[in-house]
Amino acid sequence: MTFVPVIWTIWGLLAVVAIGLSVYRSSLTRDEEDQIYLDAAFDHEKAAQEAIVARVNKIEPALRIALWLVGAATVMVVGYYIWDMIVQF
């Protein structure tokens, strides 16, 4: 097996993971409110919003790492093709 399918496979898997995490985060934040006026009668709303924020905060580091890995893999793929063009001249 050559190197090119391997780097493209790694890049594709990392991209799928990053896209999946991003879609999951957006589905979580779909029900999040930007501004809520709360008093004692709306404690259940406050608890629901805090649960959403906690889940989003839990996913955020994984998404950040996945995006950095996709960026590194992209640099690796582009670097390989630049190196290949230089070698062929």
pLDDT at site 32: 66
pLDDT in tens, the chain (89 residues): 588 999 999 999 999 999 999 999 988 888 666 666 666 667 777 787 888 888 889 999 999 999 999 999 999 999 999 999 999 98
For residue 58, how many other CB atoms are within 10 A of its CB?
Answer: 10
pLDDT at site 80: 93
d(CA 69, CA 39): 43
Give the pair of three-digit tokens for residue 42.
């709306």
pLDDT at site 3: 85
pLDDT at site 58: 92
pLDDT at site 36: 63
pLDDT at site 76: 94
